[in-house]
Chain A
Amino acid sequence: NAGVTQTPKFRILKIGQSMTLQCTQDMNHNYMYWYRQDPGMGLKLIYYSVGAGITDKGEVPNGYNVSRSTTEDFPLRLELAAPSQTSVYFCASSSTGRPGSPLHFGNGTRLTVT
């Protein structure tokens, strides 16, 4: 059982380049999320989706875009990478939107922008 799979695990980008972080889940979860984790800071929500075709901004959406064409996939697009986007990115999913419903996280993508 794969759960939430993120690719790539690591990436180095030059300033101004673009890339897509891939996320796929095999649990048939409707809710999916993208977070970034920076040292000394809590996980910050970038975008989330409550179902295929529905996405919305989180706390820190600037510089990112998402799409949700299927239940399984929720890619995150970085356009014009900046050093401030150096971070660890986590994709997560949950079966419901209730607090006791656990978020299932992938193992992250470590991105460096130089």
Chain B
Amino acid sequence: QKEVEQDPGPLSVPEGAIVSLNCTYSNSAFQYFMWYRQYSRKGPELLMYTYSSGNKEDGRFTAQVDKSSKYISLFIRDSQPSDSATYLCAMSARPENYGQNFVFGPGTRLSVLP
């Protein structure tokens, strides 16, 4: 079993739809959770950061963490064609962001169709 799993997609939705992107993980020690967005032929960029359980909202994006289920989600409201990208979840068990503490999921490719 991989330490962090994501549905690879591709996920195709019409413009304006609500999108749900999910990650499951096996290490119950993870407590720092991040979502990165990666456009084609570009490097990833940080989208959302959440500590421990709960929700965090930033504009059209909401990050949700359920540590009891070892499950995190990213919701995108009113999706736009510019949201078409690969979304990577990342997580860490320790407050250090470096070294082998930081684990990325394989990514979900999203296409928002006009």
- Interface of A, secondary structure class, is loop
Residues of chain B lying within 8 A (CB to CB) of residue A50: 98
Pick from B13-21, B43-51, B64-72 the stretch touching chain A. B43-51
| Contact residue among B4, B34, B46, B96 (Cβ-Cβ distance under 8 Å from A97) | B96
Nearest B residue (CB) for A43: B104
Nearest B residue (CB) for A38: B106
A98 and B103 within 8 A (CB) = no
| Contact residue among B34, B44, B100 (Cβ-Cβ distance under 8 Å from A99) | B34
Nearest A residue (CB) for B106: A42
The number of A-B residue pairs with CB atoms under 8 Å apart is 71
Nearest CB of chain B from residue A54's CB, rounded to whole Å: 11
Residues of chain B lying within 8 A (CB to CB) of residue A100: 32, 49, 51
B44 and A103 within 8 A (CB) = yes
| Contact residue among B34, B44, B98 (Cβ-Cβ distance under 8 Å from A31) | B98
B43 and A99 within 8 A (CB) = no
Q: Number of residues in A with C-beta < 8 Å to the partner?
A: 30
The 8 closest A-B pairs by CB, nearest first: A105-B43, A99-B32, A102-B46, A42-B104, A43-B104, A100-B49, A97-B97, A97-B96
Residues of chain B lying within 8 A (CB to CB) of residue A92: 43
**Seed contacts A48-B98, A97-B97, A107-B42; 9 additional CB < 8 Å A-B pairs:** A42-B106, A45-B102, A96-B97, A97-B98, A99-B34, A103-B36, A104-B45, A106-B43, A107-B41
